Amino acid sequence: MLSGVEFKKQKKAARSPPDGYISTKTLQSH
């Protein structure tokens, strides 16, 4: 079970992933 702090970190990471992740997703979708 994640603690509250870790859960918030995960949600924040999911909401704003690293640039590399975004560019990879963008390239795949085009």
For the chain, what percent of residues have pLDDT higher than 70?
A: 33
Eight-class DSSP state of 3: -
**Residue in 12, 10, 17 with CA at minimum distance from that of residue 26:** 17
Summarize the confidence of residues 22-27 as an average pLDDT: 62
Instruction: Measure the CA–CA gap between 9 and 26, rounded to whole angstroms.
Output: 23
pLDDT at 13 over 60: yes
Annotated domain spans of the chain: 1-30
pLDDT at residue number 19: 63
pLDDT band for 10, please (50, 70, 90 cuts): confident
Instruction: Name the pTM for this structure.
Output: 0.33
pLDDT at residue number 28: 64
